[in-house]
Each structure stands twice: as C-alpha cells, then as structure tokens.
Amino acid sequence: MTVKSNYLDDLKNHLRLDPTIQTDVVRELGAHLEDRSQELSESGLSEEEATATAVELLGSPRLVAKQMYEVYSQGRWPHALFAALPHFLIASLFALHCWHSTGWLSATLVAVICVVIYGWCHGKPAWLFPWLGYCLCPVVAVGTLLIYLPGGWAWLAAAAYAPLVLFILISVTKQTVKRDWLFASLMLLPIPMVLGWILALGIGERLLSYEQLYNAAPWIALSFAVLAVTAATFIRIRQRWAKAGALIILEILALMIAAWAGKNAVSFWVWLLLILLSLSLLLSPALLEQRDKKKLSKESSKLTG
C-alpha cells in the first residue's frame, strides 16, 4: 500500500483546493484506487502489482490535480460576491463621500477585522483573502505617510518602520502561500492601489487634504470597484493561468485610473515604476512557494537518504 500512499501524498502536494473539498477529493480518489486495485487483484494480479497498475491507470498526480482543480476550483456566486465585498465597501465610502466620517470608517474597519478573524479560524476559505489584504493596507499606508514628518525625522522613521512593514508582509504572505500563491496575490491586490492613490494625490507636497480627496473620490471609487470585479472574477474562473491573468490585467487597469486622475502630480516614469513594482509584488508569492517546495524537497531527500 506504500505506492498508493505515496501517490495520494504527491497528489495532495499539487492540489490547491479549499481544505474541506481537498479532503473529500483525496478520499474519493483513494476509494477509487482501492476499488480498482481490488478488481485487478481478482483478475489474477498480486496485491502489489494491482495497486501499481491502478495508480498508473489513474495518471500522474500533477495531471490529476490539474483536472480536479478545474472541476472544483470555481467558487459559487455568493463566495465571489463576498470576496468582492471589501473592495465594494471601500468604493462605497468614496462614492458616497463617507470617507471623512469617523463612524463609517470605524464600522468598516471593525467589519473587516471580524470577517478576517472568522475566516482565519474556519479553514481560510477563498473569499477571506481580499478581506485580509485590507488589514495590511493601513500598515503600508502609515509607512508611506511617514515622509510628511519634518526634517530628518522622516528618513529616520521610515528606516525604522520599513523593516517592520516587510516583516509583517512577508510573514502573512508565507502563511497564505501554504494554501496557494494565487491567494497570496489576491490578498496583496489593494496594496499597490493604496500606494498609487497616495502618489496620485500629490504625496511629497503636503498632507492629503479634504479637497484633494473630495475631488478624487469618484475616481478612487471606480478603481476599487475594478478591484471588486477582479476578486469576483478570480473566484469564478476555473483555470489557474486565467486567475493570474485577471489579477495582473485588472490591477494594471485600476492603477491606470489612478494615474489618469493624478496625471499632473506624478511623472509617467514613476507610474511605470509603480506598475512594475506591483507586478513584482503580485508574482512574489509564486517565488516564495517555489523556494519552500525546494526546501521541502531537500529535507525529504535527506530523510530518505
């Protein structure tokens, strides 16, 4: 039965499904292998040969995992809408000019935190990750706004704060990558958008004013509405390459909206750099996942050697 166990373990390593769905899929495939092995044993093969043949007939774990992903990865519309909801909440705050209300801001923050805690404690479902991203945005935004401190304090504070921001981002991203690097990218989606609007509203000149935010509010709402569409599309698409493409293309579209609204504040080259940094941020979880896989592979080789 070692062949069967190794096959199912390899399959688990390639599956990127919701934990509850993944458990059911592995159990069903295990039962299928058991039944197939039993049939082959009754035809005259030894138990070991029957198991090996059943595994071979099922196909490579990578291919089977890909097929299972495309069958089960499409989230239902309620999940897609709930994944889009945090982006719609931010879009609504600006569309309805509620962004300056302490009550609405506090209620939104509390709602985000409560949803994140609930989702994290209930198996990290796919709809959780857009909400989780908004828990990270204030950390990044505060670090960016440190440049408004007077004199040399700005650089001193930034130098002290930047390692903390990187530590938090990397730590949370590593935990998310364990599920799937695409979900980590989905989580990081609003961070470039927040930085983009800070640039668009003339960072470096003066602290963001009420007038600036009021005039830019419709464009800000539109850009976060694009992120909402991105999250919903991500949940509904089946293929992994299409999910990654949706994240990248729609994120660039949202940043272009910010660039158009702030075209007089920042040069083209700064926006180009921001887009490149955004792409790097969205693709960095894939690199983290590959590094972790190589590390696990080396550790397994040492144990078996």
HEC string of the chain equals CHHHHHHHHHHHHHCCCCHHHHHHHHHHHHHHHHHHHHHHHHCCCCHHHHHHHHHHHHCCHHHHHHHHHHHHCCCCHHHHHHHHHHHHHHHHHHHCCCCCCHHHHHHHHHHHHHHHHHHHHCCCCCCHHHHHHHHHHHHHHHHHHHHHCCCCHHHHHHHHHHHHHHHHHHHHHHHHHCCCHHHHHHHHCHHHHHHHHHHHCCCCCCCCCHHHHHHHHHHHHHHHHHHHHHHHHHHHCCCHHHHHHHHHHHHHHHHHHHHHHCCCCCCHHHHHHHHHHHHHHHHHHHHHHHHHHHHHHHHHHHHHC
301 occurs within a structural domain: no
Least confident segment among 43-57, 81-95, 197-211, 214-228: 197-211
Least confident segment among 10-24, 111-125, 157-171, 185-199: 157-171
Cβ proximity of 216 and 200 under 8 Å: yes
298 occurs within a structural domain: no
Q: Angle at Cα 23 formed by Cα 302 and Cα 11, nearest 5°?
A: 45
Specify the pTM: 0.84
287 and 263 part of one domain: yes
At residue 52, the pLDDT reads 87
149 or 80, which is more confident? 80
53 and 85 part of one domain: no
For 269, other C-beta atoms within 10 Å of its C-beta total 8
The number of distinct structural domains making up the chain is: 2
188 and 264 part of one domain: yes
Q: Taking residues 133-141, what's their average pLDDT?
A: 81
26 and 126 part of one domain: no
% of the chain residues with pLDDT over 90: 31
302 occurs within a structural domain: no
278 occurs within a structural domain: yes
305 occurs within a structural domain: no
211 and 118 part of one domain: yes
23 occurs within a structural domain: yes
Residue 276 domain boundaries:
76-293
Among 17, 49, 71, which residue terminates a domain? 71
67 and 96 part of one domain: no
Q: Taking residues 132-147, what's their average pLDDT?
A: 74
199 occurs within a structural domain: yes
pLDDT tens, residue by residue, 234-283: 999 989 999 999 999 999 999 999 988 877 767 788 888 889 989 998 98
29 and 147 part of one domain: no
Q: Taking residues 279-290, what's their average pLDDT?
A: 88
Q: Which of 255, 250, 254, 252 is nearest to 230 (CA)?
A: 250
Among 71, 98, 127, which residue terminates a domain? 71
48 and 168 part of one domain: no
Among 71, 104, 128, which residue terminates a domain? 71
300 occurs within a structural domain: no
119 and 266 part of one domain: yes
Cβ proximity of 83 and 130 under 8 Å: yes
pLDDT tens, residue by residue, 171-200: 888 888 888 899 999 999 999 998 888 888
113 and 59 part of one domain: no
